[in-house]
Amino acid sequence: MKPIPKGKSQRLRVLRVAIAGTPNSGKTTLFNTLTGTHQETGNWPGVTVEKKEGVFTVQDYRVQVVDLPGVYGLSAYTTDEQIARDYLLHEHPDAVIVVVDATNLTQGLLLVLQILQLRVPTIVALNMMDQAEQEGLEINIAELERFLGVPVVPIVAVKGRGIRQLKERLLETVGRVPPEPRIPVDPRFEEAQRRLVRLLQESPLAREVPLAWLAQRLLVEDPWALALVQKDPLYPQIRRVLNETLPQLRHHLGADLEVYLVEQAYALLHGLVQRVVRRRATLRKRLVFTQKVDRVLLSPWFGLPLFAVVMALTFEATFQLSAPLVDLIAHGFDLLAQLLRDLLAGTPVPAWLTSLLLDGVLSGVASVLTFVPPIFLLFGFIAFFENTGYMARVAFVMDRFMHALGISGKSFIPMVLGFGCNVPAIMATRTLESEKDRLITILVIPLMSCSARLPVYVLFASVFFPGREPLVVLSLYFLGIALALILIKVLQRVMFHQREPESFVMELPPYRMPYLRNILLYMWMRGRVFVKNAGTIILVASVVLWALASLPPGVEYAGPRSVLGWIGRMLAPLLKPAGFGFAEAAIALLTGVMAKELVVGTLGTLLAGGSVEGLQHALGQYFTPLSAYAFLVMTLIYVPCIATVAVIKQETGSWKWAAVEVAMTFSLGYFLAVLVYQVGRLVL
Amino acid sequence: MRKTTVFTDLKPLALAPIGRPVRIVEIVGGRGLRNRLAHMGLFPGTVVVVELREAHGPVVINRGGTRIGVGTGMARKILVQPDETHS
Ligand SMILES: Nc1nc2c(ncn2[C@@H]2O[C@H](COP(=O)(O)OP(=O)(O)OP(=O)(O)O)[C@@H](O)[C@H]2O)c(=O)[nH]1
Ligand SMILES: [Mg+2]
């Protein structure tokens, strides 16, 4: 036996608790309120759905919480539903907290009923009570508790109201299997269900899943349930019962028995809500206000231009506000590097080690940190727009256009964010419901010209196309967009053989004033994940790059005799068909993988010893306008920067998709650059 | 006689009149779609009002005070007819 550790931890019992609820009911807010910053984010195994886990302590318990994906039911038609169902069924949590939006009781309780059928200890957190009060809703909590047979605790997750009671009553809930919900269904259905339960009692499945629920799932011909009993020795008898009863049930209750059950539950809850909710001669003001605003925001004539303006201002604000900070960080690190260099010069530390520390590690840290201010700010703006309810409207307005592409309107927002920075854009795809849409959106975002590519465009355009710079720059932006749209179609065909476009139904919540705390926490959590995961990869990459640029010992940094220079010379012939077949271009592109704006810096160092005017002059000797344009096309498309690659790995949970992305963009970029150059030579 | 009028009135939500109650008659789609709509409280027989609609675009419907955005694709699969009992 293991020795019991002494001290306080000896008494801490571990509880495992899941938070479930409908989308947007406030699960994540509650999760954050409970765990603070003691949380980890990752993915559920094998899928691109976010998994959040955290801990908090209450009395003598250490409670491990997991934030389940938002679902309307447990029928498992979507990945999210499968995750939630599998977790509740197979992981046997000590309790589940079901978050119910008090302003939308019926829908929330529908999920509660379905979870009660799984016989997991359950407690209901009745959230958004502040909103309910504002709307003049009075909810009889005691009556609700009597009806459900489980604790119901009113809370306001954003303000932390009711959290103490929730924690206390959570402890009461643990180990208490709730009563089975009684949804009135046709006696014939009940009889068929009883027959199946009797049969299944003999089966080993009886110890794994609640039988009444399994029987119900069999009667609605849930493919998952059917697969589960297929291996059972009783399968022939089960099949016979189904064959005997189903035609009759369908005849009487409608072809889709699943919809029949949901409708029965809805009717039951409708009656309940009538009894427990009193609507004081209401303030319907907010609804009316929302309807008025929506008339404007949801019309393409106003909604789209407005969105364009909003995004332009957002990017402008993000970069204006973060520029001084980025400068400060960059200068600070330059100073620090200088200082350390002087310090180390007088010591026996070998020069290569100094260089590793300063040019490799320190500059890697610096490049991670310079990403931080814009990314945090952009996350802040995203959180703001999401929390007000505006993002749902944008998705709605864009739907008709995105529908033509076969993708839901919800993919539009992350794509637009890509113009600011690909990294937060890819992280913003977490709001997409369909996993297919999410993966496709992640893979096309790098084609959106992020702000780091702009300096490269501007430099080349000013040297080779004076007077027509805006045209050149815009053409590159549009090229990226066009490629993204084509790629969406291609990926759908190739990866998913998808015919039907994804579509959505979503509630359009009333506009809400966001809470600062929520926004800050969102910024912090998202930003932290970036620094931790992507930051590590960037750091490693920058050390590797340093090694390539400064080995073998004694060579000039990134000079022609370094490994990097050698690789550049090897690659140069490959780039010849694109019109820029010289080592410096290849090296610049290689360093651009670290961050695209480095393309300019590297060219400056290699071609002009670091001077800007010198570079402008030198470029003219190496490039023609045509090859310059081909080079820009290459810069736009070839390989996303390392931070983006890292974040693709982080969000899809596997290196596979990151590798697919690199291979795909590299071949596409190379192909198009060659195409531009070769066709251009023929035409011009 | 009545039946024929009913069926000529049947149209997708994407083409339903704005501001008048309509009754959902049929949902043309797979189990997943029907189930998803059922969980939003949208069954055959449910009465909703179209609040906003753009030609060939998505639709906003109001079901007893809850506002629901229905995407372009789905709005074509939900068949409705005018609801006489409520008008
Ligand atoms: N007024 C008010 N707003 C709340 C409350 N709890 C959450 N919200 C807001 O409701 C919105 C949705 O909250 P989330 O915590 O993201 O909801 P969720 O259930 O995690 O949503 P999904 O993960 O998308 O399913 C956010 O804008 C929150 O700020 C509350 O008690 N009162
Ligand atoms: Mg959430």
Q: Specify the CATH number for the domain of residue B64.
A: 2.30.30.90
Confidence of residue B2 (pLDDT cuts 50, 70, 90): very low
Give Cα A519 distance to the centre of its chain: 16
Distance CA A438, CA A353 (A): 43
Considering the domain boundaries, does residue B3 fall inside one? no
What separation in angstroms does the CA of A297 have from each of A137, A292, A314, A395, A397? Answer: 28, 9, 17, 11, 8
- Cα A105 to ligand 1 centre (Å): 15
Distance of alpha carbon A287 from alpha carbon A299, whole angstroms = 18
Q: Tell me the C-alpha distance between A22 and A509, whole Å.
A: 13
Residue owning the nearest CA to atom 30 of ligand 1: A128
Per-residue confidence (pLDDT) for residue A43, from 0 to 100: 65
Sequence-ordered list of residues with C-beta below 8 angstroms from that of A199, at least 6 positions apart, any chain: A234, A237, A238, A241
Counting one residue from A and one from B, how many pairs have CB atoms under 8 Å apart?
Answer: 104
Nearest one of A141, A95, A162, A127 to A23, comparing CA atoms = A127
The answer to whether A593 touches A643, Cβ cutoff 8 Å, is no
Residue B56 resides in a domain:
yes
Decide: helix, strand or coil at residue B66.
Answer: strand
- Element (H or E) spanning B55, and its range? none
What residue numbers bound the domain in which B46 lies?
Answer: 11-86
Q: What is the tally of structural domains in chain B? A: 1
In a domain, B2, yes or no: no
Q: Are A140 and A190 in contact (CB under 8 A)?
A: no
Other CB atoms within 10 A of residue A350 CB: 11
Domain-embedded: residue B71 = yes
CB nearest to B39's CB, from A73, A299, A500? A73
Q: What does DSSP say about strands A122-127 and A95-101: parallel, antiparallel, or unpaired?
A: parallel
* Res A559: pLDDT: 75
**Contacts of residue B67 in chain A, CB cutoff 8 Å?**
290-291, 294, 507-508
Provide ipTM, 2 decimals.
Answer: 0.87
| Contact predicate A588/A604, CB 8 Å | no
Let me know if residue B46 belongs to a domain: yes
Nearest to A300 among B41, B54, B73 (CB): B54
Give the CA count within 13 Å in the CB-facing half-sphere of A289. 9
Contact assessment for residue A259 and residue B35, using Cβ atoms and an 8 Å cutoff: yes
Does the Cβ of A130 fall within 6 Å of ligand 1? yes
Please check whether residue A82 is in contact with residue A52, taking contact to mean a CB–CB distance below 8 angstroms.
no
Q: CB of A157 closer than 6 A to ligand 1?
A: yes
DSSP letter string over A420-485?
T-HHHHHHGGGG-S-HHHHHHHHHHGGGS--GGGHHHHHHHHHHHSTT-HHHHHHHHHHHHHHHHH
Evaluate whether residue B60 is within a structural domain: yes
Provide the token pair at A382.
Answer: 């995203």
- What 3-state class would DSSP assign to A5? coil
Mean pLDDT by 10-residue block, N- to C-terminus, for chain A (684 residues)?
Answer: 45 90 90 82 67 90 93 84 91 96 93 95 95 86 95 93 95 91 92 94 88 94 90 90 94 90 94 89 68 87 87 84 87 88 84 80 79 84 86 86 84 87 86 83 93 84 86 90 92 76 79 83 79 76 82 76 88 92 89 82 74 78 93 92 89 90 95 95 86
Q: Identify the structural domains of chain A with CATH numbers, from first to last.
A: 6-173 (3.40.50.300), 187-279 (1.10.287.1770)
The conformation of residue A511, written as its DSSP 8-state character, comes to P
Q: Is B51 inside a domain boundary?
A: yes
B79 lies in a domain? yes
Task: Indicate if the pLDDT at residue B4 is higher than 50.
Answer: no
The mean pLDDT value of chain A amounts to 86
Question: Would you state the pLDDT for residue A1?
Answer: 38
pLDDT of residue A624: 93
pTM for this predicted structure: 0.78
Is A450 within 8 Å of A480 (Cβ atoms)? no
Residue whose CA is closest, atom 9 of ligand 1? A26
Q: Do B71 and A399 make contact, defined as CB atoms within 8 angstroms?
A: yes
Option in A77, A295, A396 nearest B69 (CB): A396
